[in-house]
């Protein structure tokens, strides 16, 4: 997973997956991306960074189920305006956690759940019912996609055991484009 430079192969695959053929008219442009990064104290991971700067900022087609929201947007089911989010603070998780089940590995689980929702990630979109896909922009899992719901959170990518696909934004989009179930690791065995 390359986080510092978008590869031409990844950008071509992203362009094809989202049907982008407007020569960047629906993209934010580099000035807007750099302004967002400066405002939030982050550098977006590649290839997402180049995707929103040069290809498109959001899409009505998936992923996720209800489309990809724009960089500075939140899904309609978010439940607030997002002004309490701080992208410069690290995303707190490095492994899956279902906070609705059993004992918590954290001293203050409510604070960690709050951090999962507010710190270190942008929201890519929703599958509905507050089942959101996040791209981590700060912390040890920078560049990874996480599925965050009202009951827990889990990382996306073959290395985490829930799917057979590559991690990161390009792997997540390729998985969706191939028509695979999101969590296909068990069915692949």
Work out the percent of the chain whose per-residue pLDDT is above 90: 69
Q: Domain residue spans in the chain? A: 8-180
The CA dihedral of 120, 122, 126, 131, to the nearest 10 degrees, is: 0
Distance, CA of 56 to CA of 62 (rounded, Å): 13
- Chain centre distance of CA 48: 9
Query: Are the C-beta atoms of residues 51 and 80 closer than 8 Å to each other?
Result: no
Helices (H), the chain: 8-17, 30-40, 48-50, 109-118, 168-177, 185-188
pTM of the shown model: 0.94
pLDDT of 187 higher than 60: no
State the Rg of the chain over Cα.
Answer: 16
Average pLDDT score over residue span 96-125: 92
Summarize pLDDT for 169-182 with one digit per residue, the tens.
999 999 998 888 88
Confidence of residue 166 (pLDDT cuts 50, 70, 90): very high
Give me the residues paired with residue 145 across strands. 135
* Domain covering 8-180 assigned CATH 3.40.50 in the classification: no
- Chain centre distance of CA 31: 22
- For residue 43, the model assigns a pLDDT of 97
């Amino acid at each position: 997973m390359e986080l510092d430079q978008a590869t031409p192969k990844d950008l071509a695959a992203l362009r094809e997956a989202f049907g982008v053929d407007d020569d960047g008219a629906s993209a934010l442009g580099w000035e807007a991306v750099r302004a967002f990064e400066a405002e939030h104290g982050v550098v977006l991971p590649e290839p997402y960074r180049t995707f929103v700067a040069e290809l498109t900022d959001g899409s009505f087609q998936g992923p996720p189920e209800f489309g990809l929201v724009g960089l500075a947007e939140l899904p309609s089911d978010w439940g607030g305006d997002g002004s309490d989010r701080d992208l410069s603070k690290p995303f707190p998780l490095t492994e899956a956690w279902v906070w609705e089940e059993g004992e918590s590995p954290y001293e203050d689980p409510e604070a960690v759940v709050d951090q999962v929702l507010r710190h270190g990630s942008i929201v890519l979109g929703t599958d509905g019912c507050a089942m959101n896909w996040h791209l981590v922009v700060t912390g040890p899992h920078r560049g990874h996609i996480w599925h965050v719901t009202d009951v827990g959170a889990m990382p996306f990518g073959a290395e985490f055991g829930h799917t057979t696909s590559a991690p990161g934004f390009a792997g997540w989009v390729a998985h969706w484009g191939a028509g695979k179930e999101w969590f296909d690791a068990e069915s692949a065995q």
